[in-house]
Structure formats: structure tokens, C-alpha cells
Structure 1
Amino acid sequence: MDNWNKEILRLAIPSIISNVTVPLLGLVDLAVVGHIGNETYISAIAVGSMVFNVMYWLLGFLRMGTSGMTSQAYGRQDEQECLNILLRTLMIGLGMGILFIVAQRGIEWGMLQLMNTPKASWQFVAIYFRIVIWGAPAMLGLYGLTGWFIGMQDTRTPMMVAVLQNVVNIVASLFFVFVLGWQISGVAAGTALAQWAGFVVSLYTASKRIKSRGNKELDVDKSNCRVWYSTCRRILAMKGEWGNFFRVNKDIFLRTLCLVSVNFFFTSAGGKQGAMMLAVNTLLMTLFTLFSYMMDGFAYAGEALSGKYYGAADEQGLHITVRRLFGFGIMMVLVFTAVYVLGGVDFLRLLTSDTAVVTAARPYLLWAYLIPLAGMAAFVLDGVFIGLTETKGMLFSTAMAMVTFFAVYYLLWSSFGNDALWIAFLSFLGMRGIASILWARRYLVIF
């Protein structure tokens, strides 16, 4: 294995592990609550987790935008700009988190209405929400720190932080619930504590790294308020850099809205067909989720490496990186397609013991088999676009894909039913890849 492939795997593998651990925070809450209450408790955790998933997903630009800009500054060996980007994203993340806390009652009411929350669960959702919301500054600050670490060619630290969060969440939730008897409040407190633990460890690690590279402005070991104040004032005065920061992140935010629209519609359209079809689509979508965990790891590697080579004006390095990323992507398509074809039914049986659901899912497995082929290119080029801060390409490809999704669905729905929904989803994935390639060939020299 040559150095190019080793470098990609060095960055991709820890990111894949991190991606797999992220859903565990929600699963731990569900597992604990499943042993202390009935379906009302479980539905409350499910709704509460979904509320925060939506809130944080829409602000995912704090990670992606930070990653691309940091990797370019790293490639230019501009240590001061690396620090500026980190402090800039922390200001926004912490500020948005505090805003969420201030506006929590309005957000709570709006989300409860939007999620069609059962009346019986309202009280428990409110308890969960009003505690976990205090972790919002930590989570949004952690988004920026994670993006910064990726840009600095370090995916091991986010992996270790993700593992730490899960350990803290498990231990704290079990203690609060089964020792102190806090029930759903204990589950929420464990989640919030894990979020702050992850943020504090990440911030401390970032500060140590910055000081080791010769910049002592970010120093958590000393309470030098004057230095902090002057540094923040200097960064706030950089109007041009703020303009670029918001330009990049505006495109990512709009692109995320397109993704949210498609995912919400997919779930809603399945639900309108009844509980059985909703269960079928949910199970089959886990095959997409598993593939996305793997491909996101390579996308993160693409963010770090393409940004570094672009910042260093190393065109050859950028070309080789893109080609190698597509090489790994093709390998993943072959592996996942083979696994799904050979073991798809057995995997569904692992997820549910309800034979009726597995039987109902069989006719739609063909569409799940095509997910890796349809989705690979978009994952790879999303990472490259983020590294190059070519966010208009991401927005263009996702918007085109969203239009394709709805057009295909409404054209085919009356004749093909749930098959039309899956054909539309595969068209969405495929169009994202095609549009990304067309944009890259037209505006970027990366192939």
C-alpha cells in the first residue's frame, strides 16, 4: 500500500469509528428508559432525540465549513489563520447554543407541534428537552472543534471524544436513573453531561495543540481575560473573513435544507401508506445508513486532504487524492453491494423478529442493493467540495437532486406506489453524484 492510500485510511478509519458511535448517544437513552417506563417514556425519548437531531443537523455547516477553511490554512502553513477559524466558529457555535437556551420554550412548543407528539408524551418530552437543551452550546461548539481537527489532519481526536462521550453518557445515565432515581430527568442529565465532557476535552486538546505549534493566544491554563478579549475583538473586526465564512456556510445550510426536505418527505410518504410500510422503509433505510457511515469516513479524509493540497497549491496532490478517493469508493460499492445481496434478508432478521415485516420488505430489497452504486460519487465529491470550500457545487448538486426526487416520485407514484418512493430516492442519490461530477469538470480542475 503506497503513502497516498495510507494517508487516506489514516484519516478515514477513525472517522468511520466516530460515525458509528454517534447514534449510540440516542440508543443509550432509549435502552435505559426502556427499563424504567412504558411506551410513553420511550416515545418521549424518541421525539426528544429527533428534535435535537433536526436542530443540530441544520447547523452542520459549523463542522463542514470549518473543516474546509482550516485544511486550506493548514496547507498554506498559516497557523494564525487556523486559530482565527477555530475562534470564529466557536463564537458562532456557543452563541447559537446560548440563543437556543434563551428561546427554548418557543422551540419546544414548535417542535412538539411539528412532530405530532402524542399528548401523553408531552410532559416527558418537555422534561427531557428542558434539560438536554443546556448542552446545546457544548454540542455546537463541538461541531466547530470536530471540523477544525479534521482540517488539521487529525481524525483520531474526534474519535476518542466520541468514545468518551458514550462512556460518560452510559455511566452517568445509569447512576442518575438507577441510583438517584431521577428517571427520565436522569437520562437527560446524562446526555447533557456527556456533551459538555466531550466539548471540554476537545477544547483542552485543541488549546494544547495550538500552543505546541507556537501560538499561545488560546490558553485554557491561564485566566488571562485581557488576552481573550483583545483576541476576540481582533477576530470580530475581520469583516472580510466573516463574509467568506458566512458565504461558505450559507451554501451548506441551504444544501442541508434540501437534504432535510427529502428525508422528511421520504419518511412521511412511507407513513401515509400505513405502519407496515413505514416499518419496511425504516428497516431498509438502515442499509443506506450503514453505507453512509463508511463513505462519510472517506469524505472526511477528502475534506482534510483536498483542502490541504489546495491551500498548498499542490495541483498534482489534489488530482491524486481525488482519484484515490474514487478508487476506495468503488471498492466500497463492490463490497457493500455483495454483502447486501448475499445477506440482506438475514440483516433484516437481525433488526426485527417480526417475520411479517421481513416478508413485506423482500420485494423492495432490490432498491436497497442499488444504494451503494447510486450514492458513492456524491459522498466522495461532497468531501472534496468542502475541502475546496466549493460549496456552491454542493448546493447546486443537492438542489438538482431534490427537484429530481420530487419529479420522479409524483410521476410514478400512482402507478408504482412504494416502489416509486425508492426509485425517487435512488434518483436523488444518483443525480447528486452526476451533478457534482458535472460541476467539478466545469468549474474545478480535480480530475
Structure 2
Amino acid sequence: MPPLRPTSGPRQKTDAAHSGRRSTGRRHDREILALALPAFGALVAEPLFLMADSAIVGHLGTPQLAGLGIAAALLTTGVNVFVFLAYATTAAVARRVGAQDLPAAIRQGMDGIWLALALGLAVLAVVYPLAPTLVDAFGASATASPHAVTYLRISLFGIPAMLVVLAATGVLRGLQNTRTPLYVAIAGFTANAVLNVVLVYGVGLGIAGSAWGTVLAQCGMAAVYLGVVVRGARRHGASLRPDAAGIRACARAGAPLLVRTLSLRAVLLIATAVAAGLGDASIAAHQITLTLWSLLAFALDAIAIAGQAIIGRYLGADDAAGARAACRRMVQWGIASGVVLGLLVLLARPLILPLFTSDPGVHAVLMPALLVVALTQPVAGVVFVLDGVLMGAGDGPYLAWAMLAVLVVFAPVALAVPTLGGGLAALWWTIAGLMMTTRLVTLWVRARSGRWVVTGAVRV
């Protein structure tokens, strides 16, 4: 009789360990895909609002389109500043979900929504009388200025709704639901397009009709979100009343992310100012490159959003090992996504150039800038993922200080590009190379330290 083999030895244990890791990896893959794909769709749908408005208003005339461009820049900047409403709410709600306390999760979300409403009303009250001054600060022409003021003032009535949408989106993401935001975004875009056509041309309101159409669509989106959250609150017995202490807690959690966002906006503004000083061809190519870079960021940000929801849930469930494993898997996703996106940009460069412009001068400076974007996408993939992981962990104060450090490193180098004789490619090496690599270092050091792994339903 041949000798019996041991039932478990080093080989079998190793195989079991590999099998366990593969199983865990597949589970994380399913979670990431289930959250990231709908989130990507919702992110892409958001810029379509402005594209629809531009296409419809553009047929009214050049002054109207110019006015829309100025007002839209102000509105986009204003809304983006408050994106922390979504990020902070996602992390806080996901922790409560991990702790299996759905009533507290929805209560936390309601605090974020009340904060969003208060901030939206404050923005409306402050900016409305300042609309002409803000438009003039952008150097609007005498023909475009009245249209910009009209569009801006009407659109301000939609700001409270848009901030509520941000906060409510964070609630649903924290509840591991990214499908509803996708459906609402698609419905909102469709309603916006239809209302714009009807009010601009059918009713004859001109650019004011475009603004009112967008406001109505935004209010409709906010109403749908509130309906979903209110039904959840009633189902789980969560209070809908504003809680001063909870609202203050949301504001404190969001303040560091506001600093992070403002620092990032400062980086982009400095880059655009430097590009403008390099000449018309360079600023035109810079705008095209920045547009493409932003589009690529939507794909990577979708993984980051999945990271916020998943990491928050694991930490809320006191599962530190699960959070670390999910972080490692998402970093792998970030690298792979960055490589794929970079290759797509490299292959698509000959198609991108004629799509945006036929000017050979712009082509000459655009091609090297696109090469920089392509080569640095794997770095961007890891940066976005780790940013999402730390947001999901509620590590806002570190993110704020890290982004301020990035700004300090980036600003003098970028401002020195023209002095040193560099062109647009050199500027983009400072943006996609230096700035993103500095972010990678700060985020990687934090992720490796493990200090972000703070478990519990509430980060203390």
C-alpha cells in the first residue's frame, strides 16, 4: 500500500491561500464594478447639461453664447467648490452602513442635505446682487455682459437644488447605491434638453429660457433624490428634522475637503494663466488638453467613488483587514485603468487633433502635450484611487494639508516655465508629471502608514 499523503502541507496551504486571495480579489472586483460603472455614467452625464445649453443657446447668436460661457464658468466653479458635500457624506454614511445602523446612516445623510440647502441659499443671497460685478471681472464685452448677468441670476435659483443633489448623491453612494444617481442624471439631462428647446424657442424666452429650463431640471432632480431619502428615512424610523449638532459635524468634516478642492482649483487656474502667457496657439491647445484630461478623470474618479463607499463600509464594520485588502485591489485597478487610458490617448492622438481644430500651429503644440497626458495616466490612476480611499476613511485633514503642499511645490515651478523658455509640453509636465507625482508621494506615504485605518461607525 502506498504511503498516505498528508491532508495538509505547505503546498496545500499555499494553494488555499492563493485561492482565498483570488476569491477575495474577485469579490472586490464585483463590488468595484457594481459601484464604479454607474458612477462613471452619472459623472459623464453632468457635463452634458452645459453641452446641451451651449448647443441650444449657440443658435441665438454669438453674444448669447459668450454670455453663457462666462456665466457657466462662474456657476461651475461655485458648484465644484462644494463637491465636498458629496465626498464627506459618502464616507460618513458608508461607515454607518458598515456598522449595520441604517437609521443613523440616513440621519447622517439628512444632516448633509440640510447643510447643502443652507449653503445653497447663502450662495444665492450673496451672489445674486454681485452678478454684474462678477461678470465684469471676467472681462465680458458690452454685448455679452447682459446675457451673462441674465443667465447667472436665473441659474442661481438652481444652486440650492444642485447642492442638495450633491449631498443626496453622497447619501446614496454611502448606501452602496450608484445606480439611482445614474438614472436621475440621465432623466435630468433629458428634461433639461427638452425644457431648453421649449422655453428658448417655443416660448421665445431666449437665453433666460435656457437658464429657467436648467433650474427646473435641477429642482426636479433634487425632488427625486429627496423622495428616495425620505422614503428610506420613514422605512427605518430616521428623523427628517434638522439637527444643529449633526449639521455642524458635517460642516467640520467637509471643511478640510473644501481646502483640498480650493487648492486643486488654484493649481488649475495657475496652469491656465501660464498657458495664456505662452500665446494663442498654446492656450487653445491647453484648453483641448485640459478638456481631454478632465474626461479621463471621470473614468478614474468613478473608481475613486467606489473606493469611498467600500472603504467607509469596511471601516464602519470594524474590518481593518478588509479595508486594506480593498485598498490594494483598487490600486491595482487604478494602475490598470491608467495604462489602458494612456494607450487609448496614444492611439487616438491623430484623431483628436482634427476633431478640435485644423490650425497647424495648435497641432504642433498639442501633440507633445497629449503625449505627456498619455504617459502619466498610470500615475493619475493611483492618485485618484488613493484619494478616494482616504476620503472614504474620513482622512480629510491629511488630504487638505497634502494638497496645500502640492500647491506649494507646483506653483513656483509652473510660473517659471515661460522664464526658462519652456512651452506647453513643459507646462503639462508640471501638471500631469510634477503635480500628480507629488500627490502620489503624499498619498502613498499615508496609505502605507496605515494611519487612515480608523474603524468604527464614527471616525474619532
**TM-superposed deviation, 1:316:** 1.9
Whole-Å separation in 2 of the counterparts to 1:360 and 1:441: 38
- Structure 2 residue aligned with 1:444, among 434, 451, 457? 451
Q: How does 1:43-442 map to 2 (within 5 A)?
A: 43-212=66-235, 214-215=236-237, 217-218=239-240, 231-232=241-242, 235-236=243-244, 238=245, 241-415=246-420, 416-425=422-431, 426-442=433-449
Whole-Å separation in 1 of the counterparts to 2:239 and 2:370: 55
Offset from partner CA, 1:211-262 (integer Å, 9 cap, x none):
34x22644xxxxxxxxxxxx33xx22x3xx4554233211101111101111
Whole-Å separation in 2 of the counterparts to 1:187 and 1:23: 15
Matched, 1:21 2:27: no
**TM-superposed deviation, 1:411:** 4.4
Contact 1:408 1:423 in 2 (8 A): no
Secondary structure of 2:190 counterpart: helix
Whole-Å separation in 2 of the counterparts to 1:268 and 1:252: 24
**TM-superposed deviation, 1:434:** 1.1
Contact 1:124 1:184 in 2 (8 A): yes
Q: Which runs of 4+ in 1 moved over 6 A?
A: none
Matched residue, 2:27: 3
**TM-superposed deviation, 1:191:** 0.7
Offset from partner CA, 1:319-343 (integer Å, 9 cap, x none):
1211111111111121111111122
TM-score (norm 2): 0.89
Deviates more, 1:88-97 or 1:77-86: 77-86
Secondary structure of 1:103 counterpart: helix
Offset from partner CA, 1:123-146 (integer Å, 9 cap, x none):
001110121111111011111101
Contact 1:73 1:311 in 2 (8 A): yes
Whole-Å separation in 2 of the counterparts to 1:211 and 1:172: 33
| One-letter amino acid of the counterpart of residue 56, structure 1 | V
Secondary structure of 2:143 counterpart: helix
Whole-Å separation in 2 of the counterparts to 1:283 and 1:295: 19
- Structure 2 residue aligned with 1:30, among 8, 31, 54? 54
Identity %: 26
Whole-Å separation in 1 of the counterparts to 2:369 and 2:127: 41
Whole-Å separation in 1 of the counterparts to 2:370 and 2:301: 23
Q: 1:433 to 1:71 in 2, by over 3 A?
A: same
Whole-Å separation in 1 of the counterparts to 2:383 and 2:129: 36
**TM-superposed deviation, 1:65:** 0.8
Deviates more, 1:42-51 or 1:89-98: 89-98
Aligned-CA RMSD value: 1.8
Matched residue, 1:225: none
Whole-Å separation in 1 of the counterparts to 2:197 and 2:72: 18
Q: 1:432 to 1:255 in 2, by over 3 A?
A: same
Contact 1:396 1:435 in 2 (8 A): no
Whole-Å separation in 1 of the counterparts to 2:407 and 2:346: 27
Contact 1:266 1:421 in 2 (8 A): yes
Contact 1:376 1:433 in 2 (8 A): no
**TM-superposed deviation, 1:400:** 1.8
Contact 1:397 1:431 in 2 (8 A): no
Q: 1:29 to 1:445 in 2, by over 3 A?
A: closer
**TM-superposed deviation, 1:101:** 2.3
Q: 1:103 to 1:81 in 2, by over 3 A?
A: same
| One-letter amino acid of the counterpart of residue 369, structure 2 | Y
Q: 1:374 to 1:216 in 2, by over 3 A?
A: closer
Whole-Å separation in 2 of the counterparts to 1:367 and 1:442: 30
Secondary structure of 1:119 counterpart: coil
Query: Unaligned stretches of 5+ in structure 1?
Result: 219-230
**TM-superposed deviation, 1:445:** 6.2
Query: Unaligned stretches of 5+ in structure 2?
Result: 1-24, 454-460
